[in-house]
Homo-oligomer: A and B are copies of this chain.
Amino acid sequence: MSKEKQFVKEITPQGEDFSRWYIDAISKAELMSYSPVRGCVVLRPDGYEIWENIQRELDRKFKETGHRNAYFPLFIPESFFQKEKEHVEGFNPELPWVTEAGGEKLEERLAIRPTSETMIGHMYSNWINSYRDLPVLINQWANVVRWEKRTLPFLRTTEFLWQEGHTAHEDEADARKETMQMLEVYRDFAENFLAIPVIMGQKTPSEKFAGAVDTYSIEAMMKDGKAVQAGTSHYLGTNFAQAFDIKYLDRDNTQQFVHTTSWGVSTRLIGALIMVHGDDRGLALPPKVAPTQAVVIPIGPSKTRDQVVPRAEEMFYELKRAGIRVKLDDSPDQSPGWKFNEYEMRGVPIRIEFGPRDMENGQAVLVSRVTGEKRPVKLDDIVQEVSKMLDEVHDAMYNNAKTFMESNFKAFDTLDEVKAFMGAQRGFVLAGWCGSDVCERQVKEEAGATSRNIPFEPAEHKTKCLVCGEKAKHTVVFGKSY
């Protein structure tokens, strides 16, 4: 047992202090450790493996939709940031600068990339010549750095891992189609892989990406009612094409600027899935992303060990061969009860109890992490039964999260109602908005809630602005955000 883990004696209950619960849960489960560098965490093997599972599935989806991966430099020359006005304003305050290297002061400072639109824009201007070169559909898996004032493991760290898609198209229609396609890839992934229900919509101008024409997002509700932006997709118009001179000769032999998009998700998804699914016992990991999907624990008196353990091993290998990420814990040093708690705390979706009486009856007992249901199943059907319960656990997690979100999502007409709601409990609010920055800012200042997005499918349409009472231009989701 590591020093860090010993240090966390108990997990603070969520109701007592949600932030404390979160740190306790991820530390005790050894997903991460704080590093000696401000705001940077170490992704320990169980944390990193969640990311690997996320990567594998998303990468498959990106390739299915025609994208290929590439790799661009970590360093971005200072002059590049000057080329797109909004972009430099958005990112300049967060940049770390390399000023010396190889024993010498650099002539031009190099930023560590916070995102790669500028570098990739520069390269695309070299690569793209003609409409025949389009579309360019590239994704990058990389580390990026943003010097954040307040950090929180996974959700907001100085360095983080992400993917950033960057595509170039002949015209607006094609680029917008791509923007929407990738947002839908993210929604599908969040709901069907991470069991996180999300709200799809468009960001208001004040919340969009620095340099984008339009930004779209999926937003998820954590168990404390706060929002996490779980993925974004941007239509960048010709902003970066003009800044980096990305032109092509069109079918009529005329020079045109390309239309570009970018889209990304990051390791913050790990934070989101923990805050959506975890409980007072610790993590609860969605089966498709869990490093360990099922753990086999032999039980019963120690004198029966010699009979039970070999049969438990057989079961373990059978499940493993079937592609289930299974673990066998037959250590004699810890009691079954200790192990039950341990793997519940680590969020393993299914526990498989197996004792001498089960062996006699040719069965094992599956226990669901989420519902607590104990289900005796025949050993002959073990693979099928475990697979079935994994699906059920996924569905239960998704439905629980969906019910939670719906029950903490209220429609209001006035800022006073929103203030009262945000003061008493947390959650999302649906309200009309006139479209002015002033009213949007007032919601933030008085209710502490920012606009999350303008949902594509609001539960109802509001006709008046919650602040000024004028005609609503949009129905907006507001919430406190991480």
- Measuring CB to CB, which residues of chain A are less than 8 angstroms from any residue of chain B? 1-4, 6, 33, 35-37, 40-45, 47-49, 51-52, 68-77, 80, 93-103, 109-110, 112, 119, 122-123, 126-130, 132-133, 138, 142-143, 145, 147, 149, 159, 161
Could you tell me the distance in whole angstroms from the C-beta of A104 to the nearest C-beta in chain B? 9
Kindly list chain B residues whose C-beta atoms are within 8 Å of the C-beta of A102: 93-96, 147, 149
Closest to A291 in B: B68
Q: Please tell me if the beta carbons of B2 and A126 are within 8 angstroms of each other in the complex.
A: yes
Q: Please tell me if the beta carbons of B52 and A69 are within 8 angstroms of each other in the complex.
A: yes
Q: Please tell me if the beta carbons of B159 and A129 are within 8 angstroms of each other in the complex.
A: no
Kindly list chain B residues whose C-beta atoms are within 8 Å of the C-beta of A93: 102-103
CA distance A71 to B47 in the complex (A): 9
Besides A1-B129, A42-B123, 5 new A-B residue pairs in contact (Cβ under 8 A), listed by A number: A2-B126, A33-B123, A48-B71, A97-B99, A112-B112
Q: Please tell me if the beta carbons of B127 and A33 are within 8 angstroms of each other in the complex.
A: yes
CA distance A143 to B142 in the complex (A): 9
Kindly list chain B residues whose C-beta atoms are within 8 Å of the C-beta of A145: 74
Q: From B45, B72, B101, give the contact of A35 (CB < 8 A).
A: B72
4 closest Cβ pairs, A-B complex: A102-B147, A96-B101, A45-B68, A40-B73
CA distance A122 to B42 in the complex (A): 11
Kindly list chain B residues whose C-beta atoms are within 8 Å of the C-beta of A159: 73-75
CA distance A185 to B35 in the complex (A): 31
Q: From B3, B48, B80, B96, give the contact of A70 (CB < 8 A).
A: B48
Q: From B49, B110, B132, give the contact of A69 (CB < 8 A).
A: B49
Closest to A122 in B: B36
Kindly list chain B residues whose C-beta atoms are within 8 Å of the C-beta of A73: 35, 37, 40-42, 159
Q: Please tell me if the beta carbons of A96 and B96 are within 8 angstroms of each other in the complex.
A: no
Kindly list chain B residues whose C-beta atoms are within 8 Å of the C-beta of A49: 68-69
Q: From B2, B47, B161, give the contact of A133 (CB < 8 A).
A: B2
